[in-house]
């Protein structure tokens, strides 16, 4: 569904800040969104049906309506509304949207993707040179971002440590393993993606799959991520996130302070251990990042550099 950002920074769910670096789910902007974020798909669809009837020309409502049908595995209805929306689409976000995974499984997806590419290009939007490579990366991103909402729903209803939540994390782990294998195969043949060939979204897709992998894969591709940052294709914070994630995966203190952990006793997020608290702001400044205290304040964590 349409969100303020497709790629989020998620730290509100326990453990997820270490596992996926995603932000908390945004509050629903209307009753339909609220019901969707509670897991009530039939109720959300009913609300969006009313909204669409009242505002049939509203593109965001039309798109979100299609996403709800995809989530509910009502694929014919999903494509009915996607077909309305795609005619004047201005971005390629739908090709990375995890809510459309069920629609992806249908034979109509390729035609939809091609029409979306044509629509965006005709409107003066991004033109993708290597569409095959980009398409494969967009798919990986959609699966990489899948089921975070479901984790949030389950956590609110039965608790973060419930068997339900653990089962969803296990599913995510299996998806990530397949994504990593698929990405390795792609990169073996194509090399690390360049925005000039596949667009910035596809570069981010490759980054996310590696970020959610093992330290071995992270160390392997850190030089490529650094070159993407130097070329302005990724923000430098992404390099810091991967650098710290690799250290965390090896059980070592982090350098840039990008990672938090969830304290089960206090039920609060806290800073993952640092290599050198006296130098962390200097290291962050070299990458153009804000002071650590300002960064952590967004997550309700108070921190002051040592004097």
Length of the chain: 307
Write out pLDDT tens, residues 143-179: 999 999 999 999 999 988 899 999 999 999 999 999 9
Is residue 154 within 8 Å of residue 196, measured between CB atoms? no
* Residue 180 placed within a domain: no
The verdict on residue 54 lying in a domain is: yes
In a domain, 45, yes or no: yes
Kindly state the tokens that stand for 251: 């059980």
Hunting for tokens 């790629």 — which residue is that?
A: 7
DSSP-derived secondary structure for 158-215: H-TTSHHHHHHHHHHHHHHHHHHHHHHHHHHHH-S--HHHH-HHHHHHHHHHHHTS-H
SS3 260: strand
**Does 178 reside within a domain?**
no
What is the per-residue pLDDT for 2? 59
274, β-bridge pairs:
254
pLDDT at 307: 80
What separation, in Å, do the N-terminal and C-terminal C-alpha atoms of the chain show? 46
**CATH code of the domain containing 59:** 1.25.40.10
Domain of residue 90, residue span: 31-143
Q: pLDDT of 74-93, one tens digit each?
A: 999 999 999 999 988 889 99
CA distance 81 to 91: 16
In a domain, 53, yes or no: yes
Q: CA 139, 65, 99: angle at the middle one, nearest 5?
A: 25
The total number of structural domains in the chain stands at: 1
> In which residue ranges of the chain is pLDDT below 70?
2-28
In a domain, 90, yes or no: yes
Q: Write out the two tokens for 269.
A: 């997020």
- Mean pLDDT estimate for the chain: 90
300 occurs within a structural domain = no
Residue 38 within any structural domain of the chain: yes
């Amino acid at each position: 569904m349409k969100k303020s950002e497709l790629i989020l920074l998620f730290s509100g769910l326990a453990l997820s800040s270490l596992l996926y670096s995603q932000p908390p789910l945004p509050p629903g902007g209307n009753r339909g969104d609220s019901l969707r974020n509670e897991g009530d798909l039939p109720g959300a669809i009913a609300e969006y049906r009313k909204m669409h009837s009242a505002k049939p020309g509203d593109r965001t409502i039309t798109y979100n309506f299609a996403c709800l049908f995809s989530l509910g595995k009502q694929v014919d209805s999903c494509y009915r509304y996607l077909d309305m929306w795609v005619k004047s689409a201005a971005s390629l976000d739908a090709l990375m949207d995890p809510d459309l995974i069920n629609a992806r499984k249908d034979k109509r997806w390729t035609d939809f993707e091609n029409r979306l590419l044509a629509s965006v290009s005709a409107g003066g939007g991004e033109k993708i040179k290597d569409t095959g490579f980009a398409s494969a990366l967009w798919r990986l991103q959609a699966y990489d971002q899948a089921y975070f909402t479901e984790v949030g729903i389950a956590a609110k209803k039965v608790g973060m440590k419930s068997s339900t939540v653990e089962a969803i994390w296990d599913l995510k782990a299996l998806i990530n393993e397949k994504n990593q294998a698929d990405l390795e195969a792609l990169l073996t043949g194509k090399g690390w993606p360049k925005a000039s060939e596949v667009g910035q979204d596809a570069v981010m897709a490759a980054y996310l799959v590696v970020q959610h992998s093992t330290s071995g894969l992270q160390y392997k591709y850190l030089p490529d991520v650094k070159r993407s940052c130097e070329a302005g294709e990724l923000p430098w914070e992404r390099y810091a996130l991967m650098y710290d994630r690799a250290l965390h995966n090896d059980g070592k203190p982090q350098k840039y302070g990008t990672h938090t952990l969830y304290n089960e006793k206090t039920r609060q997020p806290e800073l993952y251990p640092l290599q050198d608290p006296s130098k962390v702001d200097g290291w962050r400044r070299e990458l153009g990042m804000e002071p650590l205290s300002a960064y952590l304040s967004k997550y309700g964590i108070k921190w002051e550099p040592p004097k």
